[in-house]
Amino acid sequence: MHAENIPSLTVRKAADLLASREASSTELTNAVLNRISRVEETIRAFVTVTKDMAIKQADQADARIATGNAHQLTGIPMQLKDNMCTRGISTTCSSLMLKTYLPTYDATVTKRLFDEGAVLIGKGNLDEFAMGSSTENSAFFPTHNPWDGERVPGGSSGGPAAAVAAGECIYALGSDTGGSIRQPASFCGIVGLKPTYGVVSRYGLVAFASSLDQIGPLTKDVTDAAIVLNTIAGHDPHDSTSIPFDVPDYTAALGKEIKGLKIGIPKEYFVEGVQPEVRDAVNVAISVFENLGASVSETSLPTSSHAMAVYYIIAPSEASANLARYDGVKYGYSAADTGRMWDALDKTRQDGFGPEVKRRIMLGTYALSTGYYDAYYLKAQKVRTLIRREFDQAFDKFDAIVTPTTPTVGFKLGEKTSDPVQMYLNDIFTQPANIAGIPAISVPCGIADGLPIGLQIMTNHMAEDTLLQLAYAYEQATEWHLEHPQI
């Protein structure tokens, strides 16, 4: 097993190699570690590389495979975004506030992967507390796009997306609050899936905006996304927002004909500001669906154009409440060199949080404050209900909605850091799915200026099977998923 082969190696292919004994998990893990040692200095996708743990888990996986008790993820190296708890392994959220934090428990998704014999290769870099669209807000270092080292990989799951695209792991888990799986997947030319809110447990995911956060896979193709979702989906009594349901085999939807399925194309997602090459690539992708027998027609989602305004009231408000726990007393960074308790609390938060986190805490605190709650937060919740109803009505007519994932391809590092509004606009097409709580996926659909373009598919609540069916049909009819960056 050579490190050069890792960028094109999928979960399914890796599982076949391990099952046929053509390679061992130890060999595969060492190949991935060698790949990391070669390219990580350029990409900077990892906050922590768990080399010793990975080798130990690989040995255990080989023993499990030898007994014939292997799962499709057994022995396969993966990365977790560094806002998912890993017992005894630092979980920093790429923040100085949690730089030395060692969780005493595993997140539910972590445990479910470990139960299947997965190999943790390390923790992925992110925008601090998942607040950002470029992974430039990490307190430690920015991550670079594998397709062009001067470009951002997207965010906030930029580390996981870049690691998968660069071959530094076989798959990864990210979190998506307003597009933080799909947007970096688009920028890095891979597949990113945000499940229905409540399908995957949030227990052990460090909270940003609790009514929006959702964990999902970042993979090299749609098949891998379905395989990973099979393991991480399902009810969890530790998470009060987790949906009780019988987890289907999501891979069963792959390969089914899409003839007769109805796809809506909302005109509000093809407006001025969308890069022409992105618009053209998505229009070509839409014609692929038509050629495969799907029925395509234009529709309108006028209220979803307010999703960004709604998001930037609700998400900061929930962040303001969730991040109040970082007071320098319970855990995390503490500014102890002050005389009074309130001074210590103030200095802890001044030094521990970065500029973007502080900005969102202040936005949220303002929206929740006396005299402004009704004008902002309550009104945002009412518009959120309208957006949900609008999607419900759309799915009465259509099986899926197709849009660009992002308005542009990956932008240059530093290009938008001084203009928060321009940075926020990168998620304008992905935020509505979080507001409505519906599943959405980004798949590669083209290349412009040497950089990948993403196609977004959205379906109704709990309709991940249709989502994967459509994404797989498109993927198999094209070859964009076979393109890899040359590093």
Active site residues: 81, 156, 180
Q: Which residue has the tokens 């998470």?
A: 239
Fill in the amino acid letter for 340.
R
Determine whether 297 is exposed, middle or buried from the number of CB atoms within 10 Å of its CB (0-12, 13-18, 19+).
exposed
Q: Are strands 77-81 and 171-176 parallel, antiparallel or unpaired?
A: parallel
Taking phi over 0 as left and psi of -120 to 50 as alpha, with beta for the rest, 44 belongs to: left
CA distance 156 to 99: 18
Phi, psi of 79 (to 5 degrees): -120, 145
CA distance 373 to 423: 26
CA distance 90 to 47: 9
- CA 355 and chain centroid, separation: 22
Determine whether 90 is exposed, middle or buried from the number of CB atoms within 10 Å of its CB (0-12, 13-18, 19+).
middle
Q: Check: CB of residue 95 under 8 Å from CB of residue 353.
A: yes
